[in-house]
Amino acid sequence: MIEVSGLTKLYGPRTAIQDLNFTIKEGEIVGFLGPNGAGKSTTMKILTGFMPASFGTAKVAGFDVFDSPIDVKKNVGYLPETPPVYLEMVVADYLDYAARLHDVPKAKRKAAVQSAVERTGLSHVSKRIIGNLSKGYRQRVGLAQALVHDPKVLILDEPTVGLDPVQIIEIRELIKGLAGQHTVILSSHILPEVTATCQRIIVINKGKIVAQDTIERLTSRMNQGLVYHMEVKNPSASGISALKSISGVKAITPEGPKLMIEIDPNQAEIRDRLVEAAVQEKMGVLEFSAEKLSLEDVFLQLTTVDQTVDQTTPQEKNV
């Protein structure tokens, strides 16, 4: 449903995003996660046909965002960082206006507005002026305008930013309810946001994708290596030095019967060898475990450790 290849955007001399590649299948809800300034909004503006890329291509619902921006806009609902709502307008009138902008035929417009209002829980405020609504309700109006033409793809840029905890939960539930009927890509700079709503995440940092996977696989991948804990009955000096001599072991810190074993993360799997050596040395293994990183740790690692991502030259677009 979304295919991005070699996507790059320069603002003057500054590279906002560099050589992004990803695909999103129909019906998926994907989180676009990264710290402020990572390039999330830039990518979304390109995907919605709002702004051209410098290099690379993006296809949404089968249409190239550069060659067929009108077709792309028909198939996409976009909630920008700052919702494009007119504060002095009445909710239903504004949504009717949004439907007209999206070329919804006159005969279908009333039903389209009605459906968007119902799906976003706005029925009881549809006659009210947008400026008098709470921030959470204004955000619902923003979602409703993105939905009013029943697009295949929804692109939501930080949909819960600035809302209070109750409103955040409500908006998340709303978005989850859209799964299946739409393909959704939503951005966030906070991890719980995407773990609460998305099946898959794409992590972006400093304009580059540093990871993309399902939430479970991302956590388990980052769990390999790093730190193991071994508890033994008899933590002998000779046993510890035997463990230390195994290739890939960076350091061992004994704390009574507990050994903290730091591993070179690039090393192949060595857990078998660690346990074998401990048994051979008759240390009496009681427990062996890998340190569980939380997703929060994973995100921090991905976005704070210097990444050595391939820097392939982006294909210049023929214009």
Ligand X SMILES: Nc1ncnc2c1ncn2[C@@H]1O[C@H](COP(=O)(O)OP(=O)(O)O)[C@@H](O)[C@H]1O
Residue whose CB is less far from Mg ion, 18 or 126: 18
Alpha carbon of 212 to those of 25, 64, 101, 223: distances in Å?
Answer: 14, 23, 34, 16
Which one of ligand X, Mg ion, none interacts with residue 139, CB within 5 to 8 A by kind? Answer: none
Which one of ligand X, Mg ion, none interacts with residue 11, CB within 5 to 8 A by kind? Answer: ligand X
Which residues ranging from 38 to 67 are in contact with Mg ion (CB under 5 A)? Answer: 40-41
Measured in residues, the chain has a length of 319
Residue whose CB is less far from Mg ion, 19 or 157: 157
Residue whose CB is less far from Mg ion, 11 or 245: 11
Residue whose CB is less far from ligand X, 109 or 189: 189
Residue whose CB is less far from ligand X, 37 or 265: 37
Report helix, strand or coil for 207: coil
Residue whose CB is less far from ligand X, 36 or 238: 36
Q: How far is the CB of 245 from Mg ion (least distance, A)?
A: 50
Q: Which of 141, 136, 139 is nearest to 126 (CA)?
A: 141
* Residue with the CB atom nearest Mg ion in the bound state: 41
CB 73 within 8 A of CB 61: no
Q: What share of the chain is helix, strand, coil (3-state, %, to 5)?
A: 35, 30, 35
β-bridge mates for residue 20, sequence order: 7
Which one of Mg ion, ligand X, none interacts with residue 49, CB within 5 to 8 A by kind? Answer: none
Which one of Mg ion, ligand X, none interacts with residue 14, CB within 5 to 8 A by kind? Answer: ligand X
Which one of Mg ion, ligand X, none interacts with residue 160, CB within 5 to 8 A by kind? Answer: none
Residue whose CB is less far from ligand X, 40 or 208: 40
Q: How far is the CB of 53 from ligand X (least distance, A)?
A: 12
CB 180 within 8 A of CB 29: no
Q: How far is the CB of 32 from ligand X (least distance, A)?
A: 8
Place of tokens 């990264």: 34
Alpha carbon of 2 to those of 83, 121, 159: distances in Å?
Answer: 23, 28, 20
- Cα distance between residue 24 and residue 4, in whole Å: 9
Terminal Cα distance for the chain, rounded: 24
Q: How far is the CB of 157 from Mg ion (least distance, A)?
A: 6
- Cα distance between residue 55 and residue 9, in whole Å: 7
Handedness of CA 115, 86, 37, 72 (dihedral sign): positive
CB 314 within 8 A of CB 247: no
Q: How far is the CB of 30 from ligand X (least distance, A)?
A: 15
How far is C-alpha 17 from the geometric centre of its chain's CA atoms? 15
β-bridge mates for residue 120, sequence order: none
Which residues ranging from 22 to 41 are in contact with Mg ion (CB under 5 A)? Answer: 40-41
The binding site for ligand X (CB under 6 A) comprises 11, 14, 16, 34, 36-42
Q: How far is the CB of 79 from Mg ion (least distance, A)?
A: 12
Q: How far is the CB of 38 from ligand X (least distance, A)?
A: 4
Which one of ligand X, Mg ion, none interacts with residue 239, CB within 5 to 8 A by kind? Answer: none
Applying CB under 5 A, the residues found at the interface with Mg ion are 40-41
